[in-house]
């Protein structure tokens, strides 16, 4: 069986599910640059069930940047048939990439998604950091192959120098939930118990800048005459801002819940009718995958990587410009007033997400490893 090393940032539930599936198909070892992601509250189940792993000694330099100074020695001590690493341009990833290149060993960069800074400047106050831009243009081309989460990610990789012929797209997926609908009587009773009166618009997110939480609240401020209720699920530094906004404007159409683990969150998806995801920038947005599995229409922005592959305007949802609560409110008003449209879009969401499974995702990575094996040593 082919031995594969995967260098990743930190464990996360959706990644662990994938590695366990991938580990059924290859002899997999995962090296984590850190033991936990910053600001994440989730439980990690199944870590190492079908793969070996270790947490490298080192330090955190930011939300997804790490320095593990001994990465070269660790790589020297244990050879593998194939090498894959995440592409966040952390110092550890750069050191590992250069170590492999110096030894003419082909390897794969895996990207969950991204946006060139010129695309972000349209929607945020951020301005490009010349050093970061230069680093990406130097680092991205070092690989022999690139795993891309979808069409937007492919554009991102190409922008920073990846060879188009070496890009392999994979269906970025989460574990398929038990998305069977509740009986109408049970659903209605549970909605009453939870204080969810009307058409439920769910938004599970971290309450941090960049997630468009303020846009969602502003939109619902203008929707108080509609039979819509926002179910805002999450925790984070903007929690107090949200509570103060709701109180200040007397919003009776917003219900807040603290962050929930996946098994608990599923109960609320079953009570929901629409997902909103008004992000200013998410490399992908697996929340969209989850909601589609429950048959929900999606209203999101083009700054969610998933929107470019999973959300088809007018077919299973809508995309609106970020930071525009009026546009978000307009689409939600349309869905509130047309139950047949909600049903049609929701059914289409369920159809479109069927091919996004972890087994198919793992198969794509196996294809890439096989392709890598046939490549000559890099120079």
Domain of residue 262, CATH code = 3.40.50.2000
| Helices and strands, counts by H and E, the chain | 15, 15
CA distance 77 to 54: 14
What is the band of 194 on the pLDDT scale with cuts at 50, 70, 90? Answer: very high
| HSE of 202, CA atoms in CB hemisphere, 13 A | 27
- Same domain (yes/no): 18, 150: yes
Examine residue 379 and state whether it is found in any structural domain, yes or no: no
- Same domain (yes/no): 127, 233: no
- Same domain (yes/no): 168, 286: no
Structural domain of residue 120, as residue ranges?
3-175+357-373
- Same domain (yes/no): 156, 225: no
- Same domain (yes/no): 29, 46: yes
- Same domain (yes/no): 153, 64: yes
Examine residue 378 and state whether it is found in any structural domain, yes or no: no
Kindly report, residue by residue over 219-277, the tens digit of the pLDDT: 999 999 999 999 999 999 999 999 999 999 999 999 999 999 888 999 999 999 999 99
Output the six-digit token pair for 310.
């999973």
CA distance 166 to 187: 48
CA distance 142 to 157: 12
Examine residue 49 and state whether it is found in any structural domain, yes or no: yes
For residue 350, the surrounding DSSP H or E stretch is helix 339-352
- Same domain (yes/no): 147, 253: no
- Same domain (yes/no): 205, 343: yes
CA distance 327 to 366: 42
Examine residue 266 and state whether it is found in any structural domain, yes or no: yes
Examine residue 218 and state whether it is found in any structural domain, yes or no: yes
> According to the model, what pLDDT value does residue 377 have?
58
Count the domains in the chain.
2
Kindly report, residue by residue over 2-22, the tens digit of the pLDDT: 999 999 998 888 899 999 999
pTM of the entire structure?
0.93
According to the per-residue pLDDT averaged within each range, which of 87-96, 126-135, 336-345 is highest?
336-345
> According to the model, what pLDDT value does residue 379 have?
53
Q: Is the pLDDT of residue 346 over 60?
A: yes
Q: Is the pLDDT of residue 29 over 90?
A: yes
- Same domain (yes/no): 196, 327: yes
CA distance 86 to 139: 12
- Output 290 or 374, whichever has higher pLDDT: 290
């Amino acid at each position: 069986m082919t031995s594969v090393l995967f260098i990743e940032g930190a464990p996360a539930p959706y990644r662990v599910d994938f590695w366990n599936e991938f580990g059924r198909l290859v002899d997999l070892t995962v090296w984590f640059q850190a033991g936990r992601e910053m600001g994440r509250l989730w439980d990690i189940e199944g870590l190492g069930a079908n793969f070996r792993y270790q947490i490298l000694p080192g330090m955190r330099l930011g939300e997804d940047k790490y320095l593990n100074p001994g990465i070269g020695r660790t790589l020297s001590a244990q050879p593998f048939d194939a090498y894959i690493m995440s592409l966040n341009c952390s110092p550890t990833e750069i050191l590992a990439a250069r170590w492999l290149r110096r030894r003419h060993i082909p390897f794969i960069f895996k990207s969950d998604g991204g946006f060139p800074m010129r695309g972000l400047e349209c929607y945020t106050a951020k301005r490009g950091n010349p050093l970061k831009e230069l680093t990406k243009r130097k680092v991205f081309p070092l690989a022999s192959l690139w795993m891309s989460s979808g069409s937007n990610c492919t554009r991102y990789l190409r922008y920073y120098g990846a060879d188009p012929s070496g890009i392999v797209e994979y269906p970025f997926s989460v574990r398929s939930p038990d998305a069977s609908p509740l009986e109408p009587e049970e659903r209605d009773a549970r909605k009453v118990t939870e204080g969810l009166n009307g058409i439920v618009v769910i938004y599970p997110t971290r309450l941090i800048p960049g997630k468009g939480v303020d846009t969602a609240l502003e939109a619902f401020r203008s929707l108080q005459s509609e039979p819509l209720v926002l179910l805002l699920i999450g925790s984070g530094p903007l929690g107090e801002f949200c509570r103060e906004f709701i109180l200040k404007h007397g919003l009776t159409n917003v219900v807040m819940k603290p962050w929930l683990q996946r098994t608990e969150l599923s109960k609320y998806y079953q009570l929901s009718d629409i997902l909103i995801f008004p992000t200013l920038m998410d490399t992908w947005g697996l929340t969209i995958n989850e909601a589609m599995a429950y048959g929900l229409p999606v209203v999101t922005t083009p700054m969610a990587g998933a929107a470019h592959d999973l959300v088809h305007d007018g077919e299973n949802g809508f995309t609106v410009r970020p930071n525009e609560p009026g546009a978000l409110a307009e689409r939600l008003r349309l869905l509130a007033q047309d139950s047949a449209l909600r049903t049609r879009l929701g059914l289409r969401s369920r159809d479109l997400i069927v091919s996004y499974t972890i087994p198919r995702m793992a198969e794509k990575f196996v294809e890439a490893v096989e392709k890598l094996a046939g490549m000559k040593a890099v120079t």
